[in-house]
C-alpha cells in the first residue's frame, strides 16, 4: 500500500545527543515536510523540501537539520542545539494539483530524559 512510514514510533534520548527520525514515502510525491506538535498546539513547520537535493527552513528550524538525497526519503536530525526537543514529530508529503493536500505519517514521539 502507498503511504508514509515514520520510524521509530517512540524514541528516548539523553540530553546532548543527536537523534535522527526517519521518513520514507512511496507516493511518488516531490514535496516533503516535517512538522512538530506540542500538547495543546497545532503543527509547526520545521523544514520542507520541494525537490531532491533542495530544502528550506520552516518556522522553527533552529536545532534541526535535514537531507533529501532521494525522492522517497527525508530524514530529520534533532541536534543537541534544540533546547526543547521533547515533542511529537510528523512527516508529510504532498502532490501538485488543485487541492494539494498533505499526506501524513503516523508520527514519532521523542522524549528527552
Stretch of residues binding another protein (CB under 8 A), selected from 14-22, 50-58, 65-73, 78-86: 50-58
Of the two residues 59 and 69, which places its CB atom closer to another protein in the complex?
Answer: 59
Q: Are 69 and 86 in contact (CB under 8 A)?
A: no
CA distance 112 to 105: 22
Total residues contacting another protein by CB under 8 A comes to 29
CA-CA-CA-CA torsion sign (13, 66, 109, 22): negative
Of the two residues 85 and 94, which places its CB atom closer to another protein in the complex?
Answer: 94
Helix or strand holding residue 76 (H, E): strand 76-78
Stretch of residues binding another protein (CB under 8 A), selected from 14-22, 33-41, 60-68, 73-81: 33-41
Stretch of residues binding another protein (CB under 8 A), selected from 18-26, 63-71, 76-84, 94-102: 94-102
> Rounded to whole angstroms, what are the CA distances from 102 to 35, 53, 91?
12, 20, 10
In the list 11, 45, 52, 61, the residue contacting another protein (rule: CB under 8 A) is 45
CA-CA-CA-CA torsion sign (88, 76, 70, 68): positive
Give the interface with another protein as residue ranges (CB under 8 A). Answer: 31, 33, 35, 40-45, 48, 50, 56, 58, 88, 90, 92, 94, 96, 98-107, 109
Amino acid at each position: 500500500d502507498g503511504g508514509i512510514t515514520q520510524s521509530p514510533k517512540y524514541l528516548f534520548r539523553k540530553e546532548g545527543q543527536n537523534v535522527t527520525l526517519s521518513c520514507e514515502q512511496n507516493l511518488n510525491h516531490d514535496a516533503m515536510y516535517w512538522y512538530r506538535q506540542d500538547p495543546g498546539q497545532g503543527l509547526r513547520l520545521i523544514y520542507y523540501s520541494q525537490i531532491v537535493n533542495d530544502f528550506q527552513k520552516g518556522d522553527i528550524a533552529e536545532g534541526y537539520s535535514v537531507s533529501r538525497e532521494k525522492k522517497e526519503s527525508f530524514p530529520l536530525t534533532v541536534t543537541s542545539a534544540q533546547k526543547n526537543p521533547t515533542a511529537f514529530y510528523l512527516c508529510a508529503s504532498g502532490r501538485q494539483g488543485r487541492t494539494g493536500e498533505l499526506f501524513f505519517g503516523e508520527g514519532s514521539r521523542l522524549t528527552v530524559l
